[in-house]
Every structure is written in structure tokens, then in C-alpha cells.
Structure 1
Amino acid sequence: MATTSNKDAIAEGLVDLLKPAIKQIDLHVHSIRESQVELREHIDSLATELCRINEHQKVALDLDPYVKKLLNARRRVVLVNNILQNAQERLRRLNHNVAKETARRKTMLEASGVFASRSPSN
């Protein structure tokens, strides 16, 4: 019984250690996704403006290669955003599973009387 109790305490400690890191990573991924959306909007705006300038130029200035580069950059931004979105969803599931496991282990420990001798502030 003591070995199981020690394993549960170690597992709970690991879960408590991982939970803040997971939340921090989730916040960073969310922030990056927001900046990716903003970058994509700026790329779209710039591409539109280049097309407009190209249409109104009296001098034959070929901006198509630059527009294509911008659109390629936009495509990569969207791809990275999708990857980040998938990573964030996995982090959310992991965070949910960590919280669920923490609650389950805490309930098991409380039921076995491990927390009976500890004060509520611990």
C-alpha cells in the first residue's frame, strides 16, 4: 500500500509540475496563432494593394512575381497556423486529461486517508 501511495504522490507531483507548463505553452500557441492571422491579413492587404498599383501603372511594371511571392508566403502562414491549431488542440486535450487524472488521483488519495492528516492549505 505504501508503494502505491508513493507512486500516486509522485504521479500527482508530476501532474502538478506539468500543468502550468501546458497552460503556458497553450497561451503562447494562442498568441502565435493570433499574430499569424494578423500577418495573413497584412499579406492579403499588401497583395491587393500591389495588384491595384499594377493595374493603374502607366509604365509596364511587372509586379506579378512579387504578388506570387506574397501569396506563397500567405500559403505558408496558413499552413503554420493550421499546424499550430492542431498543436493547441492536442495541448488542450492533454491539459484536460491531466486535470482529469489529477482529480482522480486526489480522490483516490483522499479515500485512502493520505490527506486526512494534512491541513487544507497544503
Structure 2
Amino acid sequence: MAVGSGPAARELFAEGLLQFLRPAVRQLDRHVHSVRESQVELREHIDSLATELCRINEDQKVALDLDPYVKKLLNARRRVVLVNNILQNAQERLRRLNHSVAKETVRRRAMLEAGGYQGK
């Protein structure tokens, strides 16, 4: 049987495309979630290290100027927070996309079933 270019063929193509995209969107969402968790952990380590450096600086009898290092750590922490916010926004967009793909798949299935398409 030849594949046409009518509405049924377009619907079938769209359904296939949605089925193809859904796993990729879900996998990307999982990866973004994993990176966000790592970012939070990194931020906590930076905070801990900055606190420890400040404590060491206060306890030293010899004047060691650790302030530049603390500032660098705090700057790195700020960048980590910024990246985490960007990832959070991207993950929210991915969730919305995944939801839209799922809704569109359900809608197209209902249209195909209502049209009497049986996949033959």
C-alpha cells in the first residue's frame, strides 16, 4: 500500500514524531534534574569551604590574608546559583513541553480512533 500525503498520513507522521520526541524530552529532563542536584551539592560545599576559610583566618596568629580566596569562593557560589536558576528554568520548560507532547499524543490518538484508523 502506498503512503499518501493526506490527513491520515500527516496524522500518522505527527504521531510518530511525538512518540520519537517524548523519550528524548524525558531523558533530558532527568539529566537536568541530576545536574541541578549536583549544583546544590557544589553550592553547599562552597559555603562550607568559605566558612572554614573564614574560621581559619580568624584563628591564625600570623596574619594570612584569605579574604581574596573567600571572595573567589563566594563569586564561584554566585555563578553556581546562577547556573542552577538557568537549569531550573530549562527544566520547567522541558516539563511543559513533555506535558504538551503527552496532551497532543492523546488528542491525536483520539482523532485517529474516531476516524476509524486501525493501523492497517
Counterparts of 1:55-74 in structure 2, within 5 Å, are 55-74=58-77
Q: Which of 9, 13, 30 is the aligned partner of 2:12?
A: 9
Cα distance in 2, alignment partners of residues 48 and 114 from structure 1 = 66
Alignment of 1:35-114 (within 5 A): 35-114=38-117
Separation (CA, whole Å) in 2 of partners of 1:51 and 1:105 = 60
SS of the residue corresponding to residue 59 of structure 1 reads coil
Structure 1 segments, 4+ long, off by >2 Å, are none
Report sequence identity in percent. Answer: 75
CA-atom RMSD in angstroms: 1.3
TM-score by length of 1: 0.93
After TM superposition, the score normalised by the length of structure 2 is: 0.95
Gaps of 5+ in 2: none
Q: How many residues align?
A: 117
The CA distance in 1 between the partners of 2:63 and 2:100, in whole Å, is 60
Aligned counterpart in structure 1 of residue 32 of structure 2, from 23, 29, 32: 29
